[in-house]
Chains A and B, each alone.
Chain A
Amino acid sequence: MSSSVEQRRPSPPRPSARPDRRPGRPADRRRGPRQAGSRLAGAGFLAPAVLFVGALLLLPFATTIHRSFFDDRRVSGFAGLDNYTLFLNDPTLVRSVQNTLMWVVGSVALPMVLGLAIAVLTHSGGWSRMARLLVVLPYALSGSAVAVVWNFVLTTDGAANQALRAFGLDSFAQGWLLEWPGNTLVMIIANTWQAAGVAVILFLVGLQTIPPETLEAAALDGAAGWRKFWYVVLPQLRTVSVIVVGTSLVGGLKSFDLIWVLTQGGPGRQSETLAVSMYQETFLALHPGAGAAVAVVLTAIVLLTSWLYLRRQLTPKGT
């Protein structure tokens, strides 16, 4: 079965369709000034965007890279890679990297599995619309609002512990946000509650684009239930899965708002991710050099992972 990416692969342009660009032809000479003019106009149209991206994205990024090589003394001096070695010898940053990895794994795997399961289960049948709506709804909320709601649930005096006590499960009641790694895990679950919504939407779109003939053919061949899902449906959801994993990956790497509202990266900076560490170091610990180094490393990881992943997954062959 070829992937849907392959199905949509554009056919290579035929040689005859290629415009003749050999120099020296009268037609070219006639077009010359006009082409230059349209190029100029094109550059004019592009200029504002280029300027904005340059001034607001590339320039600050270059400044951040530059700053990361300087120390955090009052009169800042060149420090080489000192700020980057913090990733090896500062226990807070080591913990932050561990947490970021947990977030990446958790925020990719959970929304992927849950999103797919919910989409498949609620794909058909009118009764499931309401269930689907309930799952998708949290996606419309802002991260901070989600965090405030979960704060009511997860604090020691919160709803989760009250419910456990009501059912006589006192021994399970605990400070959910107070101990590592439990606090990171419950925050990943809170994040999944919100992020699964978008995965559900994407998988539903994917399910609707599966040609019914393939399912009929599978049924005629005797495939049903799990076998049909595994061998017929799932391969056709490949493109959607690539997008779900890609967005979750980036989302996991840059997770900030939920953590900031729930724990501020604490207690004792134990639940920080790299995005939170970047903020902590720069604005609270007043170590702009170290903060810049964290920002550079985080950006490099996000770019590299996205590029590696998408390059591998979205090649025409899908290999």
Chain B
Amino acid sequence: MLAGCARGNSTAVQPGTTSLANDNATWDQGYVAAGRELKKLTGYALRPLSNPNPTSYKQVTQISLQTTKATDMIKWASGYFLKSLARTGELSDLSSLWSAYERKGWVTEQAREPMSYRGAVYGVPLYESYYVLFYNTALFRKHGLRAPDTWEELLHNAEVLKKAGVIPFVATQTGNWPAYEWFQELVSKVDPEFYGELVSGKARYTDPQAHQALQIWQDFMRKGWMTPADFDQNNGAAALKSGRVGMFLHGSWQSQGIAATGLKPGTDFDAFVLPPVEASTRRSVITESGVLAVPRKAVSHEAAMANAANWLDPKVQKVWTDFLQDASANPRSRPGNPVMAGLKQRALEERWTQLPRYGESGPPNLVQGNTDDLGAFMTGASSPRSTLRSMADRAAKEWAAWERDEA
């Protein structure tokens, strides 16, 4: 009833459209544009319903799924956020739809797990971002640097920039979640297989690989290679443009923000994925996917299923990724942004291991608590050892709680 009141009549059937609840009003134009393409294929456009506060969006959506006024489609996070929602039984099974996507080669094998719960698929990837280091090409040229292909080159770049009075890397815990950006990067670049096992609860946080990653991180901080832990990432694009910082680690969706400062993608700024610490280690990239899911009680359920079945169509994805300036989860869809197009192509050609972002890779309580621990580590309040011990203790507790709930 509460959600019904909150939603009013906004979710009621409107012929020729499907409603799409989401937490980012700045994407409304993109949904509308992609919806026009969808309408050509399915007969249904997209009608975005935005709730700009992510916390309130989460609450309202979870409640509204239980009512008869559920939106036709919802934007959600992948991994354990989607699993938590799927296990309430309020989402539609999209497995057959996924199989059709697989037959067409519109999804990769690795994309399935973060969209699944107990073998069935419950979501379609909304986009697929990479975690990359953006850099200002003019600044690199000025100091005789190029995008590093090895760990040694990366260290060299950082040393040169530091000497020139430029802070080499953006790193912050402001806004909470960015605290895990360097953690996921460094652990996965030390050992990508270990990262995969760690986030699925099979390896321990106190293992040597995790310890090595935090030692590298601490070393970077001590050398003054990282911005203060209260750096505001909203100023990251401007700092990159002005040459105050050298490399900005963030989701590839940040490309839009950097372009907004007047820098042109591919010419004025570019990006690279962090190279592995040891040259022999397999290359990997951290990916982030938003999810489109269809509530079981969607008001226009059939229309929503039709749109979910066509979302990854290259024609729809072209319009959508051109708006986002980011990449699609469909490997056949080439991003319009040259920075992303280049990285995506290289990842496919060299068969990089795609790893899920830390934020969605464990029970939400575990990720939240461990992110807080990493925030404390970034301020020097705790050592690598005590940080990892605390994370390990929480992992043991929260995985046990997750398993117990599953049983």
Contact = CB atoms under 8 A, between A and B. Distances in A.
Interface in A140-190: 155-157, 175, 177-180
A267 B228 contact: no
A74 B232 CA distance: 36
A284 B55 CA distance: 8
A157 B231 contact: yes
A73 interface: yes
Given A156-B231, A175-B229, A266 B173 contact: yes
Given A155-B230, A175-B229, A180-B381, A270 B376 contact: yes
A267 B231 contact: no
B176 A73 contact: no
A268 interface: yes
B382 interface: yes
B40 interface: no
Nearest to A177: B230
**In this complex, which of B228, B377, B404 has the most chain A Cβ atoms within 10 angstroms of its Cβ?**
B228
Given A73-B404, A175-B228, A180-B381, A267 B173 contact: yes
Contacts of B176: 264, 266
A47 interface: no
Interface residues of A, number: 22
A178 B372 contact: no
Interface in A164-218: 175, 177-180
A136 B379 CA distance: 35
Interface residues of B, number: 29
Nearest to A287: B365
Contacts, number: 68
A254 interface: no
A177 B378 CA distance: 13
Chain B interface helix/strand/loop/mixed: helix
A285 B364 CA distance: 7
Contacts of A287: 365
Nearest to B366: A285
Given A268-B376, A283-B55, A156 B368 contact: no
Contacts of A175: 228-230, 379
A131 interface: no
A298 to B, nearest CB: 20
B381 A286 contact: no
A175 B221 CA distance: 14
A254 to B, nearest CB: 19
A285 B230 contact: no
B404 A266 contact: no
A132 interface: no
B373 interface: yes
Interface string A258-278: 000000101111100000000
B114 interface: no
Contact of A155 (B175, B179, B228, B379): B228
Q: Which 6 A-B residue pairs are closest in the complex by CB-CB distance?
A: A268-B376, A156-B228, A74-B405, A267-B375, A178-B379, A267-B379
Interface of B: 55, 59, 87, 173, 175-176, 179, 228-232, 364-365, 368-369, 372-373, 375-382, 401, 404-405
